[in-house]
Structure 1
Amino acid sequence: MFRQGGTEAVQTDERPAKSNGSEHHVGRHRRVVGTAVGVTVALALVGGILLSRRVPDQATTQPPAANTAPAAAPPVTSAIGWNAALVARDDTTITVYASLGDTRCKDVVQPQATVTEQTDTQVVVAANGRIIDANDCSTSGIRMPLVVSLQKPLGDRVLRDAASALPPPTFSERELPDLASDKRWSPHSSHCDEGWCQSYNGPNGSTLFTGAGRTVGGESSAAVGTVSIGSREGTITGSPERSWQVRWEVGDVTYSLRLTPTEGETFSLQEFRAELARLRWT
């Protein structure tokens, strides 16, 4: 605006005010930008801190390094011979009786038997285990019963020991009385160095001893009679004061059964025959 007729002219210009507004706007924009940059930097710092804290956590969750130590060597086992076998009534379960023979003061750890060969004519069974020094030499060398199962009945096939390649004597439960089904008789531990044997406790303190072995010759005692043993014929020996025994032969094997009364008691021959008749023969 200009004033005339006077002494001076005054100019009024509103642009400075507009200029102040622009400067204010620019300043505010700079502050916003600065704040945004600061926030971005702060977030980056925080993220870096969190990342630096997370890395050790991830490291601790890594799976442990694989054990590179060599595996322990399996225990060394040795072959063990067996000198007798018992075939169960099912004709597929075989118990072989293994021992270290003349070796003294040695025991067998974890003994086991396996079928190593089956053909139409023979079955080969191997026994083995870890042999160690015995803690008690008086009990070492006792035979160990080891059981194997066949895929089909043994039948007429020959059983052989893998260690000796020989056929030790083989006995059959079918040729013995079925005492497992007779609750009057309970088995107890028994031991024989050769062949097979089993003892039973019976009524009124009596005992029954059954055994089997290779046929070696005639009877050592005079026969007092005969009796039917299933489809076999047995020979009776003995006396009332001590015990009665019956023997019968199947091929080259002799089976026996001995009945002994409790101490101070006796069995007559008639009572012995009656007891034999009560047993189950299959």
Structure 2
Amino acid sequence: MRPDDGLPDLMVSGNPPEPLSADRPRRHGRVTLAVAAAAIGLALVGSFFLRQQRATDPAAPRQVSARETPAEAPSTLAWLSALVARDGTSVTVYAGTSAECGELVQPQAAVVEQDGTRVVIAVKARTGRATDCTTSGGAIPLVVSLPEPLGDRVLRDAATALPPPTYFERDLPGLSSDKRWSPHPGRWASTDDGWFQGYNGAGGSHLLAAARRTAEGGRPATVGTLTIGARKGVITGGAEGSWTLWWALGEVTYSLRLTPAEGSTISLKQFKREMGSLNWN
């Protein structure tokens, strides 16, 4: 008689039955799945710890490419000369580079120091290769505004601490307001510390205003004199070419050269009359 224990009858005789052959592959599959699951778990744990280690390691320095290299800082350059406006509150300084086929990149001028006796102006720029070598090497005008008129104070260069040649519009006739003469762009070498401005007149005549340090000699023979206000000048030249009026103020010599239109001539008397008609106030 079978006890009623609720369990199935696994025994049909006194000896236990042999296991079925289909149970073996099922057990092998369970083992393989367990091993694979363990391997995946170890891989995930290792990846997690590797990420944690990288997060705590100091960052390696980033390699900067040539394009990302910071641009060269502007240098303080010496300037050549200055022109003080008639009202004394605006100064144009001229600077440039003597480098072959070079040009100034983004030049700027500013007042860096001033007191009752001096005004120090600094020019800053980088030097680069000119896009057109045939037009490089010229003096570049840079305008600086002063908080008050320059007066008797001396302009000094921040790069050299020296006073470059300084010229004054007040010592020249007021050609900018004379409708008979039209200024045109001009340029001169960046190694020249003079100042120049050309004007076109009626019929093709030309007038050139210039200023430079007074030097001994080098001037053509005097052919006449002319006094205009406080200015006493001498005249050089001839009717076959051009006439030039020269006058000196301190260490500066100014000049006006009048060239007639091509094929024309002008007499000395006509030249004096033309010079006297200019606005010398």
Whether the TM-score (by the shorter chain) exceeds 0.5 is yes
Aligned residue in 1 for 2:40: none
Aligned residue in 2 for 1:175: 171
Question: Please, which runs of 5 or more residues in structure 1 have no aligned partner?
Answer: 1-70
Give per-residue Cα distances to partners, 1:77-121, cap 9 Å, x unaligned: 122221100000001100000111x32222222211000001111
Contact 2:96–2:103, Cα closer than 8 Å, also in 1? no
Q: TM-score, normalised by structure 2?
A: 0.72
Aligned residue in 2 for 1:39: none
Aligned residue in 1 for 2:186: 190
Query: Is the counterpart of residue 108 in structure 1 residue 110 in structure 2?
Result: no
Aligned residue in 2 for 1:135: 131
Aligned residue in 2 for 1:237: 236
Question: Per-residue deviation at 1:137?
Answer: 2.1
Question: Please, which runs of 5 or more residues in structure 2 have no aligned partner?
Answer: 1-67
Q: 1:98 pairs with 95, 98, 106, which one?
A: 95
Question: Per-residue deviation at 1:208?
Answer: 0.1
Which amino acid in structure 2 is aligned with residue 251 of structure 1?
G
Q: 1:84 pairs with 81, 86, 91, which one?
A: 81
Question: Per-residue deviation at 1:172?
Answer: 0.3
Which amino acid in structure 1 is aligned with residue 239 of structure 2?
P
Which amino acid in structure 1 is aligned with residue 173 of structure 2?
P
Cα distance in 2, alignment partners of residues 223 and 130 from structure 1: 45
Which amino acid in structure 2 is aligned with residue 120 of structure 1?
G
Rg larger in 1 or in 2?
1
Give per-residue Cα distances to partners, 1:218-272, cap 9 Å, x unaligned: 3532211111133110001110110000100000000000000011100001110
Cα distance in 1, alignment partners of residues 99 and 72 from structure 2: 21
Aligned residue in 2 for 1:225: 224
Cα distance in 1, alignment partners of residues 102 and 160 from structure 2: 20
Paired residues, number: 213
SS at match of 1:82: coil
Cα distance in 2, alignment partners of residues 93 and 132 from structure 1: 28
SS at match of 1:110: strand
SS at match of 1:138: helix
Question: Per-residue deviation at 1:153?
Answer: 1.1
Question: Per-residue deviation at 1:199?
Answer: 0.3
SS at match of 1:129: strand
Of the structure 1 ranges 170-179 and 222-231, higher mean CA displacement relative to structure 2 is found in 222-231
Cα distance in 2, alignment partners of residues 234 and 269 from structure 1: 14
Of the structure 1 ranges 131-140 and 203-212, higher mean CA displacement relative to structure 2 is found in 131-140
Q: TM-score, normalised by structure 1?
A: 0.72
Question: Per-residue deviation at 1:141?
Answer: 1.8
Cα distance in 1, alignment partners of residues 99 and 218 from structure 2: 32
Which amino acid in structure 2 is aligned with residue 146 of structure 1?
L
Which amino acid in structure 1 is aligned with residue 168 of structure 2?
S
Question: Per-residue deviation at 1:125?
Answer: 0.4
Which amino acid in structure 2 is aligned with residue 258 of structure 1?
R
CA shift in 2, pair 1:232/1:219, >3 Å: farther
Aligned residue in 2 for 1:157: 153
Aligned counterparts, 1:12-161, within 5 A: 76-100=73-97, 102-161=98-157
Cα distance in 2, alignment partners of residues 107 and 79 from structure 1: 15
SS at match of 1:272: helix
| Stretches of 4+ aligned residues off by more than 6 angstroms | none
